[in-house]
Structure 1
Amino acid sequence: MKAMFRALLLLTAIFGAGMARAEFTARPMTAISLDTVLADAQRLAEARPGAQVLRIEGKSMLPFFGEGSVVVVKKIDPVKLRAGMVVVYTNRFGETVAHRLVAAGQGGWVAQGYNNEQADSTLVNSENLIGVVYATFHSNGCSNLLAAVASIPAALAAPAR
């Protein structure tokens, strides 16, 4: 019995150590359609001056948001940025990216996706900052209005570039 307990304890320790570096792959999901989520997000954005709605593409920000999620982004004074905030910005490749600020750097903020091993190569600053993620909506990813969904700009939650 003691030997079995030790073996179980050892397996738990090994499994737990492996999980410490695990990548999250399951995206947050609800039974709510993407159409409903977009409408709700749009109503919220309309009530907040300077806010906009973006679809999320990618999995670097899981388990917080991923494919099928929608975010409301609100403009913010770059002076108010702090480590831990999730922001949307334009990287040096012209892509719109949604990642978390990890540290202040020389000339801007270092951003990184939760599931990315490396930080992004573009610093977030007053010139490329679109805003801070104000609200996140999760959906089942299904839509009856694909043309309408395609018209909503996307932010990447993707590997660092």
Structure 2
Amino acid sequence: MFRRAARWTLMGLLFWSGGIGAAHEVDGRWIRGVFTGRSPRAVPLPEAEAWQRAGLLSEKAPDSFVLVGSGQSMQPLYAPGAILVLQQYPYELLEPGQTVLYRNRARKIVAHVLVARARDGWRVAGLNNPRPDLEPVRPGNLVGVVIAAFQPLPEELPRRIALLDR
């Protein structure tokens, strides 16, 4: 009985902390009305393992690199601190639902989801933003496409889960 209650408490904490995401806002490949079906979901792992897997993947995938996400605009898909593996990608092969990194006019790097192709480039949106970005993604400002994501778990969490399974 105690184990079951502890497990549900832990799941509740993950849910409310943004670790899992709000169920009513996530419907399979759609999040808050935005198609994200071509964006990899973040795999929750202990931090050291997350970095190791991201590093191995970036070594194997040509023209790829690793960086850490920040900000709230892509939650619940990617929480702040998510380790993202990106790959340089031909602009002509982009598809709706992919998460891309692009450099905006202010020279800031932004990770948002491709929503629709327009005459002047791709429309992108952050999942927590009320509307799509005003600035399109074009060949000249595209940095890369997210090909994998890992969400580092708090250090104590794997130990707590292991204790619950005893």
TM-score range, shorter chain: 0.5 to 0.7
Aligned length: 118
SS at match of 1:92: coil
Counting only pairs closer than 5 Å after superposition, residues 1-161 of structure 1 correspond to structure 2 as 26-28=18-20, 30=44, 32-33=46-47, 35-140=48-153
> Do the aligned residues in 1 keep the contact of 2:45 with 2:151 (CA within 8 Å)?
no
Q: Which segments of 5 or more consecutive residues in structure 2 lack a partner in the other structure?
A: 1-15, 21-42, 156-166
> Do the aligned residues in 2 keep the contact of 1:87 with 1:132 (CA within 8 Å)?
yes
Q: Give 2:162's aligned residue.
A: none
Q: TM-score, normalised by structure 1?
A: 0.67
> Do the aligned residues in 1 keep the contact of 2:45 with 2:150 (CA within 8 Å)?
no
> Do the aligned residues in 2 keep the contact of 1:68 with 1:140 (CA within 8 Å)?
no
> Do the aligned residues in 2 keep the contact of 1:25 with 1:62 (CA within 8 Å)?
no
Query: Which runs of 4 or more aligned residues in structure 1 lie more than 6 Å from their structure 2 counterparts after TM superposition?
Result: none
Q: CA deviation at 1:94?
A: 0.8
Identity over aligned pairs, percent = 32
Q: Deviations over 1:70-101 (max 9, x none)?
A: 11011111011111111111111111111001
Q: Deviations over 1:94-150 (max 9, x none)?
A: 1111100111122210110111112112210110111111001111266xxxxxxxx
Q: TM-score, normalised by structure 2?
A: 0.65
> Do the aligned residues in 2 keep the contact of 1:89 with 1:130 (CA within 8 Å)?
yes
